[in-house]
A and B are shown apart, each in its own frame.
Chain A
Amino acid sequence: MRTLVYRHLKLFWKSPANIVLSLLSSLVILSLYFLFIRDFTIKAVSDYGFISSYNNLFVDRLMTSGLLIVIGATSVLSIIFIFVKDCSSGIIKDFFVTPLSYIKIIYSYFFASFIVSMLMTSLVFIGIELFFSFYYQYYSSLDILLQPFFVIVLSNIISSLLILIIALGINNFVSFSTFETLYGVVIGFFTGVYIPIGYYPNIIKNIFFYFPLCQTTGLLRRIQTFNITEKILINYPSNIHNVLYKTFGIKLAFNNNIITGYGQLKMIFIIIILLNLILIFSIYIKRHHR
């Protein structure tokens, strides 16, 4: 399987457009945030009555967490696109006739897309942390940085599995391109990057609660803003703390019941197991309905 992962990555690197577009999409997402969403969100925080010198830092930390998840989610698409291309061109048949099992062949695309998304998000993550240390003199120690990094790993695992399952169902070059465009647009809304999750109607919030990346975004925001929210909320009664948490997607709630960080982590692991089971089942179905 290592050989196939190597092959997918080699094809990814062989196409300069792939790398440029992946980096460019990360830059575009970051620029869009700073140009259009940042001021609106900072204003929204003060509109809710939270006035503090930490508001800008809080919003930047909050939004960059969401952006890291979105960048991870979109950067898996390039490798999964290779999978769809291999299926439609018949190249994948050349792997199926080797002694390598179907499941290993399909999972090779998962590992390759995970590696690419980790590379892209790690680069952006380092860039973001450098930005906070230079602009805000906000430093995080290595052991603290490991926590968000762990959530990013989980989020990229989910993204790779999710898109691979969808690609197995689509299996068609043109349809997948259309899906890519749609996914790029809706993922920002699903994770509450473009509009804070608290602005959505309850029913939508409850639906998004079950969207796997909404959980990883929430957990990452919770970790990344932990020290800052404590400072913002220091003079506020504890009964209104949840307003800030729920409105800006730091703590996710289902039917207004807030889920704990541990509960979120548990849910993320369950999602990963479920997605793996769905993927294995999809491969099994494909294999037995040839």
Chain B
Amino acid sequence: MAAGLRIDVRARLGGFGLDVAHAFALSGVTALFGASGSGKTTLLRIIAGLEDAADGEVSFADEIWLATARGIRVPAHRRGVGVVFQDARLFAHLDVAGNLRYALRRARRNGPAPGLEAVAAALDLGPLLARRTGALSGGERQRVAMGRALLSSPRLMLLDEPLAALDNRRKAAILPYIERVVHEFGVPAIYVTHAIDEVAHLADRIVVLAEGRVAATGDLPEALERLDLQPLTGHFEAGVVLEVRVTAQDLAHRLTHVDFGGQPLVMPMLDLPLGAEIRLRARARDVSVATERPRGLSIRNVIEGRVAAIALEPDTAFAEVVLETPGGPLRARLTRLSVEELGLGVGQPAFALIKSVAFDRRVLPRGPGQAG
């Protein structure tokens, strides 16, 4: 990979300083993850060239965007960075088509540029084109904002919690659009969020920011399985991402059978062809552990493995157990009492009982430019 976004910056934040040195890979989606106030948005604004009060260096491929020591500060409009803001920031004096054309007229000329029709089709903007921006719903505004950013032919897309202002149903409706846009138009993206499910759904890798510093980085799905992310991702949402393949469709029972490292899993039917590779997400709280293969149980998904780690959570009733299985690790959240009563120990064989799995995303074939 030739192009990279290298950052080494410091800036003042509310209660602490932002101090980030990191090289972002420029392919697919990088999630910039952290709690509110961790400096995610400030870092995004520094990359976009919208933050004046930052010291340090930012370079994109062989271009220097910021080098305060040498007095270099490339203004935002010369960086070719498309930004989708949390509040959409559509131009109120123009209709939807006017907003899109505003970007198109100022699009960077070098390289292939996405056309208005292709972008409108990918984001289903056709019915909205003649509408005034004030008459759009929150989800529609974000789709228009994404389309507008794309039409400026950016070399890098920055998405600043584009779903934060939407309710859960609308979020679910928009996520596929974001995914489609990123993969269809091949623009690398940095996606700021504090929602781990969005990370699991969209991202190829994650950069965790805490109190203005990079706390962890890694590729998905492995990064989500590491216990050291746990205090940042939160117990409630902690879990793992499973990569599975569709093996059978049971139309009578409306179930889809998938293969997880040689062991079967069933889940509510997904409209996918046989052989499709998908990602599932199993939250730790939806996984239990047994020391023998259970009988007479309504849970159908039982995966055989071996205990790889046990982490007791101090001052709580809970513990996290990591099971190593042929398909990859699974995490289970148990009470500490259960861990004791089952006599669980590292290295011991065990069975994971998965109450439910959530469909995360289709694993798309990776192009030559994409990092694995």
Is chain B found bound to chain A in the same assembly?
Answer: no
